[in-house]
A and B are shown apart, each in its own frame.
Chain A
Amino acid sequence: MDSFTQTAWLIPLFPFAAFLLLTALGRGYRRAGVMIGSIGSLLALIMSLLVLFERLDPNAVDYSNSYKWIDLGDYTLKVGFEVTNLNALMLVIVTAVSFLVNVYSAGYMKKDERITVFYGYVALFTFAMLGLVLSDNMLVFYIFWELVGVCSFLLVGFWYARPAARAAAKKAFIVTRIGDAGLLLGIIVLFWYMPGHALDFSSIHNVFNEGQSGAITMTITTSIALLLFMGVIGKSGQFPLHVWLPDAMEGPTPISALIHAATMVAAGVFLLARTFDIFEASAAAMHTVAYFGGFTAIFAATVALAQNDIKRILAYSTISQLGYMVMAMGLGSMTGGMFHLFTHAFFKALLFLAAGSVIHAVHTQNIHEMGGLGSKMRITAWTFGIGALSLSGIPPFSGFWSKDAILGTALDEDPFLFAIGLAAAFCTVLYMSRLFFIVFTGKSRVRQPNEVRESGLAMAIPMVVLAVLSVVAGFVETPWNGWLGNWLTGGGEEVHANGFAIVASIAVGVLGIYVGWLMYGRAYREQSPAAARMPWLVQLLERQYYVNEFYNVVIVGTVRWIGKLLHAFDEHVIGGAVRLVGFTAVAGGRVMTRLNNGQTQTYGLTAVIGLVVIIAAIVGRRFW
């Protein structure tokens, strides 16, 4: 029986119904709003779990169902959903984090005036994300892909009274649009070359899985893959389009956990997994993907070392971890990428929620104004610690197993990327130690220490649940048990168990914590002695390698300059033409108005003249 699988299309409808209800209710019903949003996502979670259990049956077959939407000539546009093991896993990740964030927000957003609007947006986002996960063809996927972008825009700019929030929302939208343009182009090229213009994932799988004997040439395959990858770069915050993600931290913290850590930013990685066959068919594309991922991993990890805003550190950490996932995909390990996505969703959401709890208590995001919070906020400190250890890749926490799967693959496939991955892992441990020690240990530097207290149950429970998940989620795939890989790929992928990789990553982890403790744990310092010796390096990292400034000067500047040129062209050439057209139209309109002078005899005359002209034109045509 797979009755739940066949009705999986219901899953996105629960949050959608919640969204409609919340919108209809308006701002009045605060408590009811929270309940509606939470129940919507809870129902989706239950349903997703049921689907997942059905998928665990080794005999489960992929199920897809589509509905003919529109017939346009001989082309039929279809919409539908598909349930595969990959989708089922994503469904559970999305609904689980969404539900927990809903619960958490009941505490975090309690005092916000527009809490119902917030829940409405979250419900809409959850709907869009689930639609994206379930979609069975590229077109529907793209529609939902844009819709999650819109939701992200709305939620980043949720506190629109703050100029920074407005700017960040705009930036997030525009920067990801650059990637989306590539994605759309990729879809169009794909549509053009696919046999029968099919865009559904199973046809894509069939066409590209045949290798190079397929209907599509190598060059085309590579360009499609690279265009699709542009979408990934934008959405999953890969270098060089990562700049929007740290700014997006202007949104409410639960949103950072849900959208900008666990789900939406992972959509890019999910797209890679969904269209993995296209990428696998092109070695060049795979290399590009791997190196972009690897570079992003190390790049963002170093930037995170020098940031002072707790959420920005976590944001750069997210970029870095997404880099790991992308790198894993590029190295051919879909399992590694998805596995890390899976564990990362839990521990990064946990870190954000815990950070939110801290911010809620001390009303600042600057880590130098925190300190010594561990004794006052035990639950937060413990859960944050678990998240940090997991992210740092310390066994037996879940992050260790997934990072190890990626590093193991890297060692086998490309030792250079393994080295980069290892270096990034060291940075990761270091910045997490720095963050943890500065915030939770030592003396308190909080402005109003008496007001600091542990957050309420609504916020604590989701953190604890995520902490438990962060501990146990890693055991689905270990070097001696490739269950997840077998389940996801049908046993097509070998397990990269490598003793050296394990030892190296544990060593790096322990070393990182030790160094971190030496630098930040023993006593609080605004700056570490190492940093004091290299102020330029700190500056470079603090300013995020000046990428934003570079964009401002070079790209925005150039664009502005081109814009000026174009504007001049526009003003004088196009503008002239447009004015001419506009003038003609207006003049035409004026003549029409004159004919419409209110005199009935003119009307009759117009009709007769019209008739004569038409007769003359048509009959006259015969004599030419």
Chain B
Amino acid sequence: MSSTFAPMTWHDTLYLAPELILAAMFLILIITDLILPQRVNRSLIGWLTLAGLLVSLGAVIWRMIDMNPSGVSAEEAAKAGQAISLLGASYRVDDYGNLLKIVFLIGTSLIVLMGLGSTQKDDAVTDKAEFYYLLLPATAGAMIMASSGNLVTLYIGLELLSITTYVLVGLRKRSSLSAEAAFKYVVTGGIASAFVLFGMSYLYGVTGSVSLADFGTALPQALTDYKALVYVGFFFLIAGFGIKIAAAPFHAWAPDVYQGAPTPVSAFLAVIAKGAALAAVFRLLYSSAFFVSGGSKDQAGDDVMFALLVIAAVAMLVGTLSALRQKQAKRLLALSGVANAGYLLVPIAVSVTIIHSNNFAEFAFYLVAYLLMNVGAFAVVTVIARATGHEELRGFSGLYYRAPWTAVAMLVFILSLSGLPVTAGFFGKLFILLGAASVKAYWLVAIMAVSTVISYYFYFGIIRQMFLRSNDEAETEIHVPAVTGLVIWICAAATVALGVMPGPLMKWIDMVFTIQGDLFVR
């Protein structure tokens, strides 16, 4: 073991403040919900959940500022920036985790706001308070995954996230679709967990350790001794996480589940759950497979990365092709999420070289872009579903004449989803594309381009619907709840802002994050 196990001290709990805040808030809100009389509107719980998320966000940002001091000597900065390792390197507080936690917390906050505008009025959801406070442990799970330093914490985070989302998906108790979705999600999630555990057990078996910190040294030896077992371990891990990420061919559950779940929960699955699984894969592979890749001889790591690239390519193609015939808005977004999972896997899997080393910046930038455009699009779907009573794509027809500003915002999201300027999605895809091109993975570049072009077909279909007048929908004005409007406009404004000036964010990530200091677990 590279670091000796040290028990938690009171001081250490300070490092865990963001997660602990969420946990404490969760417990408080459960009790509050029990005590509060029935007649009190549960949106109070929603606002308290939001408050908890924002306080936690503040704690993360405070930690980041603490770890990246400005105006001090390089030596001091390096000392402050050193990753904090807790409980024998099983939990890590570093810039990698913190950056992703910021993304998760902002995303969940937007989703809570979206819920205040939609789920709050959804009659199929009987226990509104549950919707809000269950998001807290789910987010905490995602944060644990981003911060975990060994397989056990990683798995705990994964299950915390999964189990709470199983419940969240089934919250629309008066809807059979929701129950069906929850059931399917539990079963598929169970398969995923089984795959992940199986893979983990093999890795533990061949290296004798569950700590990511030990893989770097133990794997090369293990590879010579038990080559086949190493392969099996990695492939099962990839398949298990592939299900969680909803990358093809492990994605089949996603459309059903997104369709049945309350829309804010679909957004949570599409953005936070997917992002957390991607974050775990990123960290896991860079602590293990990375050390058995490169060089001249056949290396298992290269194969693992290549498998990931293949999955990325398949996800892009399958996601866009299946979306072609889709008529339901949430299923469409689910399939677009499959394709986007493919894009997000690319920076993880393409090799790091001297000329191309900002994989994480590309990944994080696109994750942010994806968060903004997806949460925004789901928020628009809630508005339309409320006005028309269904979630079919034809609900969008004539939207421009019924809610012009919402239609314009949706236009921004769709342009971003299809990767056109001037939006965050354009630069996100461009950076990933250039990254893949700079390591000469031209076949992947070609597939990205082809799937992007195919995707124009159904994205532009929505645009056409919105801006063409139609007769079959009554031309009444659509009412947009203020909180939902806020979510839509935050997302649209940020999407455009990042589309006009992607430089500052990219530069900041590059400045804060180093592969050596923040990603590798040593």
Genuine A/B complex: yes
Chain A interface, >50% SS class: helix
**Least distance between A601 CB and chain B CB atoms (Å):** 9
Does chain B have a CB within 8 A of A593?
yes
**Least distance between A80 CB and chain B CB atoms (Å):** 14
Tell me the nearest residue of chain A to B338, going by C-beta. A592
- Bound CA span A72–B362, Å: 12
**Least distance between A365 CB and chain B CB atoms (Å):** 35
- Bound CA span A124–B191, Å: 57
Query: Which of B235, B318, B427, B501 makes the CB contact (< 8 A) with A592?
Result: B318
Name which of B195, B242, B321 has the most chain A CB atoms within 10 A of its CB. Answer: B321
Task: Please tell me if the beta carbons of A69 and B501 are within 8 angstroms of each other in the complex.
Answer: yes
- Bound CA span A72–B506, Å: 11
- Bound CA span A148–B149, Å: 56
Does chain A have a CB within 8 A of B106?
no
Does chain A have a CB within 8 A of B295?
no
Task: Please tell me if the beta carbons of A606 and B252 are within 8 angstroms of each other in the complex.
Answer: yes
Tell me the nearest residue of chain B to A68, going by C-beta. B503
- Bound CA span A517–B462, Å: 64
> In residues 588-605 of chain A, which contact B (Cβ within 8 Å)?
588-590, 592-593, 595-596, 598, 600, 602-604
**Least distance between B243 CB and chain A CB atoms (Å):** 6
- Bound CA span A588–B335, Å: 14
Specify which chain B residues have a CB less than 8 angstroms from the CB of A602 in the assembled complex: 252
Whether A604 touches B191, Cβ cut-off 8 Å, given contacts A69-B503, A70-B503, A619-B231, is yes
Task: Please tell me if the beta carbons of A607 and B252 are within 8 angstroms of each other in the complex.
Answer: yes
**Least distance between A419 CB and chain B CB atoms (Å):** 51
Task: Please tell me if the beta carbons of B502 and A70 are within 8 angstroms of each other in the complex.
Answer: yes
Task: Please tell me if the beta carbons of B249 and A606 are within 8 angstroms of each other in the complex.
Answer: yes
Task: Please tell me if the beta carbons of B303 and A618 are within 8 angstroms of each other in the complex.
Answer: yes
Does chain B have a CB within 8 A of A25?
no
User: Which of A185-193, A498-506, A608-616 is found at the contact surface with chain B?
Assistant: A608-616
Task: Please tell me if the beta carbons of B250 and A585 are within 8 angstroms of each other in the complex.
Answer: no
- Bound CA span A449–B187, Å: 88
Task: Please tell me if the beta carbons of B325 and A586 are within 8 angstroms of each other in the complex.
Answer: yes
Does chain A have a CB within 8 A of B306?
yes
Task: Please tell me if the beta carbons of A603 and B321 are within 8 angstroms of each other in the complex.
Answer: no
Does chain B have a CB within 8 A of A534?
no
Task: Please tell me if the beta carbons of A607 and B239 are within 8 angstroms of each other in the complex.
Answer: yes
Specify which chain A residues have a CB less than 8 angstroms from the CB of B325 in the assembled complex: 586, 589-590, 593
Task: Please tell me if the beta carbons of A610 and B249 are within 8 angstroms of each other in the complex.
Answer: yes
Does chain B have a CB within 8 A of A529?
no
- Bound CA span A586–B322, Å: 8
Q: Chain A, 112-153, contact with B by CB distance < 8 Å: what is the 0/1 string?
A: 000000000000000000000000000000000000000000
Name which of A593, A598, A600, A607 has the most chain B CB atoms within 10 A of its CB. Answer: A607
Specify which chain A residues have a CB less than 8 angstroms from the CB of B238 in the assembled complex: 614
- Bound CA span A602–B503, Å: 45
- Bound CA span A285–B351, Å: 49
- Bound CA span A69–B256, Å: 42
Does chain B have a CB within 8 A of A617?
yes
Query: Which of A72, A585, A606, A609 makes the CB contact (< 8 A) with B454?
Result: A585
Task: Please tell me if the beta carbons of A72 and B434 are within 8 angstroms of each other in the complex.
Answer: yes
**Least distance between A598 CB and chain B CB atoms (Å):** 6
Does chain B have a CB within 8 A of A622?
yes
**Least distance between A622 CB and chain B CB atoms (Å):** 7
Tell me the nearest residue of chain A to B510, going by C-beta. A71
**Least distance between A217 CB and chain B CB atoms (Å):** 30
**Least distance between A587 CB and chain B CB atoms (Å):** 9
Task: Please tell me if the beta carbons of B324 and A589 are within 8 angstroms of each other in the complex.
Answer: yes
Does chain B have a CB within 8 A of A196?
no
Whether A585 touches B303, Cβ cut-off 8 Å, given contacts A596-B255, A607-B252, A614-B235, is no
Does chain B have a CB within 8 A of A58?
no
Specify which chain B residues have a CB less than 8 angstroms from the CB of A609 in the assembled complex: 249
Does chain A have a CB within 8 A of B489?
no
Whether A586 touches B310, Cβ cut-off 8 Å, given contacts A592-B318, A619-B303, is no
Query: Which of A590, A596, A598, A614 makes the CB contact (< 8 A) with B311?
Result: A614
Specify which chain A residues have a CB less than 8 angstroms from the CB of B321 in the assembled complex: 585, 588-589, 592
Task: Please tell me if the beta carbons of A600 and B183 are within 8 angstroms of each other in the complex.
Answer: yes
Task: Please tell me if the beta carbons of A598 and B256 are within 8 angstroms of each other in the complex.
Answer: yes
Does chain B have a CB within 8 A of A73?
yes
- Bound CA span A71–B431, Å: 10
Whether A615 touches B298, Cβ cut-off 8 Å, given contacts A73-B434, A593-B322, A604-B187, is no
Query: Which of A586, A596, A611 makes the CB contact (< 8 A) with B324?
Result: A586
Tell me the nearest residue of chain B to A611, going by C-beta. B239
Specify which chain A residues have a CB less than 8 angstroms from the CB of B187 in the assembled complex: 600, 604
Whether A617 touches B310, Cβ cut-off 8 Å, given contacts A600-B184, A610-B250, A622-B298, is yes
**Least distance between A470 CB and chain B CB atoms (Å):** 42
- Bound CA span A69–B307, Å: 36
Does chain A have a CB within 8 A of B176?
no
Task: Please tell me if the beta carbons of A618 and B310 are within 8 angstroms of each other in the complex.
Answer: yes
Task: Please tell me if the beta carbons of A603 and B184 are within 8 angstroms of each other in the complex.
Answer: yes
**Least distance between A62 CB and chain B CB atoms (Å):** 26
**Least distance between A595 CB and chain B CB atoms (Å):** 6
**Least distance between A334 CB and chain B CB atoms (Å):** 35
Q: Chain A, 261-297, contact with B by CB distance < 8 Å: what is the 0/1 string?
A: 0000000000000000000000000000000000000
Tell me the nearest residue of chain B to A605, going by C-beta. B252
Tell me the nearest residue of chain A to B501, going by C-beta. A69
Specify which chain B residues have a CB less than 8 angstroms from the CB of A71 in the assembled complex: 503, 506-507
Task: Please tell me if the beta carbons of A618 and B252 are within 8 angstroms of each other in the complex.
Answer: no
- Bound CA span A618–B434, Å: 25
Does chain A have a CB within 8 A of B438?
yes
Specify which chain A residues have a CB less than 8 angstroms from the CB of B191 in the assembled complex: 604, 607
Specify which chain A residues have a CB less than 8 angstroms from the CB of B235 in the assembled complex: 611, 614-615, 618
Tell me the nearest residue of chain A to B355, going by C-beta. A73
- Bound CA span A402–B82, Å: 71
- Bound CA span A236–B90, Å: 70
- Bound CA span A460–B503, Å: 50
Name which of A592, A600, A622 has the most chain B CB atoms within 10 A of its CB. Answer: A592
Does chain A have a CB within 8 A of B108?
no
Specify which chain B residues have a CB less than 8 angstroms from the CB of A70 in the assembled complex: 427, 502-503
Specify which chain B residues have a CB less than 8 angstroms from the CB of A589 in the assembled complex: 321-322, 324-325
Task: Please tell me if the beta carbons of A600 and B188 are within 8 angstroms of each other in the complex.
Answer: yes
> In residues 454-496 of chain B, which contact A (Cβ within 8 Å)?
454
Tell me the nearest residue of chain A to B304, going by C-beta. A618
**Least distance between B233 CB and chain A CB atoms (Å):** 12
Tell me the nearest residue of chain A to B302, going by C-beta. A618
Whether A73 touches B438, Cβ cut-off 8 Å, given contacts A589-B325, A596-B252, A607-B243, is yes
**Least distance between A468 CB and chain B CB atoms (Å):** 42
- Bound CA span A68–B195, Å: 47
Specify which chain A residues have a CB less than 8 angstroms from the CB of B15 in the assembled complex: none
- Bound CA span A604–B456, Å: 30
Tell me the nearest residue of chain A to B323, going by C-beta. A589
- Bound CA span A614–B349, Å: 15
Specify which chain A residues have a CB less than 8 angstroms from the CB of B503 in the assembled complex: 68-71
Does chain A have a CB within 8 A of B253?
yes
**Least distance between A583 CB and chain B CB atoms (Å):** 12
- Bound CA span A71–B434, Å: 12
> In residues 300-335 of chain B, which contact A (Cβ within 8 Å)?
303, 306-307, 310-311, 318, 321-322, 324-325
Whether A615 touches B252, Cβ cut-off 8 Å, given contacts A73-B434, A600-B187, A622-B298, is no
Whether A614 touches B310, Cβ cut-off 8 Å, given contacts A69-B503, A71-B503, A596-B252, is yes
CB-defined A-B contacts under 8 Å, sample of 21: A71-B506, A71-B507, A73-B434, A585-B324, A588-B321, A592-B318, A593-B322, A600-B184, A602-B252, A603-B184, A603-B252, A606-B250, A607-B249, A607-B250, A607-B252, A611-B195, A613-B249, A614-B239, A614-B311, A615-B231, A618-B306
Q: Which 3 A-B pairs have the closest CB atoms?
A: A610-B249, A592-B322, A603-B252
**A residues adjacent to B (C-beta < 8 A):** 68-73, 585-586, 588-590, 592-593, 595-596, 598, 600, 602-604, 606-607, 609-611, 613-615, 617-619, 621-622
A602-B252, A607-B252, A610-B239 known, 13 other contacts, Cβ within 8 Å: A70-B503, A71-B507, A585-B321, A592-B321, A593-B325, A596-B252, A596-B255, A598-B256, A603-B252, A610-B250, A618-B310, A621-B306, A622-B303
